Chain A
């Protein structure tokens, strides 16, 4: 019995240290990562680690809510908005306030020192003997508390949720300012645009039939029109396999073939404008 308890404690402390290191590393990576998508994935790692830590602390309901609501819903919403907003938005690397990052790090160190002093002085003892809500009735215990002691905040929360949903709909709604173009106008516009046919598909006559391979024109030159601008930009930044096309769409001149992301941060900076 004693041996089993010791084993359980060892397992618990091992799990805690692994998850703590993982969570802190992922959080640091999130603050340092350039692209918003990488940040979102690293935030998912932090949230999943925290879910396991909740389960270790005797909160299985919160662990599941963390996975379902935070990682499942909130983070997916983040990813959707990153796809709408962040993928193409190039932010400047210029600091608008001089020395802002250094000041932020100094403030962080100060805050960490202060909070560590506070919790160091607080003498947080060992956990109290687990009450009734910690055995098998965690969900029942939470439900009892929510619907008795915390019933008024719970009702207020429902009002908040309705307001938030309404606000999101109002804010995200786009009012049509002009009349909807008719099919006749669209057809006329299309003929007048100089390209009445659809854009060429990617991969035609190329060696690979993939979306990132530009179609080859009859004279063998790649057609930049066949690749989505976002993907073309990523190829230009990444492996450099995309041959520099003599085209008007890419005006940046020479395409610098950089081997991999992260190895040449300065190249990335010049091309993309890191998302600081």
Chain B
């Protein structure tokens, strides 16, 4: 029997994997993908908790998270392409003009 706790545990694992990816990778696109993985993990937790409580509020929140993630991806990738156009690199280490 699969209980909502199993789903929450899976969501925790996916979230941590995404967080490690964000911390360890250097390519901005892959970092973005890891952020998407974290958002998906949180969505899974929301849906699992909605099932736990037997109502639909969690599903509505997950839906809003999806909408906002889509908007975030659009703006983020646009920033990425414009940085790539200026600096010819997708690495997060090369965007360091504001560092010193």
Take A31-B20, A164-B74 as given contacts and tell me if A43 and B33 are in contact as well, using a CB distance cutoff of 8 Å: yes
Main SS of the interface on chain A?
Answer: helix
Nearest B-chain residue to A113, judged by Cβ: B16
Give Cα A112–Cα B81 distance, bound, in whole angstroms.
Answer: 33
B18: chain A residues at CB < 8 Å are 27, 31
**CB <8 Å contact, B84 and A276:** no
Q: Does chain B have a CB within 8 A of A237?
A: no
Q: Does chain B have a CB within 8 A of A231?
A: no
Give Cα A150–Cα B21 distance, bound, in whole angstroms.
Answer: 33
Q: B91's contact among A91, A131, A161, A165, by CB below 8 Å, is which? A: A91
Q: Does chain B have a CB within 8 A of A225?
A: no
Give Cα A126–Cα B6 distance, bound, in whole angstroms.
Answer: 10
Q: Does chain B have a CB within 8 A of A187?
A: no
Q: A86 to chain B: closest CB distance in Å?
A: 5
Q: B71's contact among A24, A36, A107, A160, by CB below 8 Å, is which? A: A160
Range for the number of chain B residues in contact with chain A: 35 or more
**CB <8 Å contact, B14 and A31:** no
Q: Does chain A have a CB within 8 A of B24?
A: yes
Q: B71 to chain A: closest CB distance in Å?
A: 4
**CB <8 Å contact, B17 and A31:** yes
**CB <8 Å contact, B12 and A116:** yes
Q: B89's contact among A20, A89, A161, by CB below 8 Å, is which? A: A89
Nearest A-chain residue to B40, judged by Cβ: A50
Give Cα A78–Cα B37 distance, bound, in whole angstroms.
Answer: 13
Q: B20 to chain A: closest CB distance in Å?
A: 4
Q: Does chain A have a CB within 8 A of B56?
A: yes
A141: chain B residues at CB < 8 Å are 56
Q: Does chain B have a CB within 8 A of A199?
A: no
B44: chain A residues at CB < 8 Å are 50, 53-54
B72: chain A residues at CB < 8 Å are 164
**CB <8 Å contact, A112 and B12:** yes
Q: Does chain B have a CB within 8 A of A9?
A: yes
Give Cα A89–Cα B36 distance, bound, in whole angstroms.
Answer: 22
Apart from A59-B50, A131-B56, what are 8 other A-B pairs with CB-CB below 8 Å? A39-B29, A53-B47, A65-B66, A69-B66, A127-B3, A128-B54, A157-B64, A167-B74
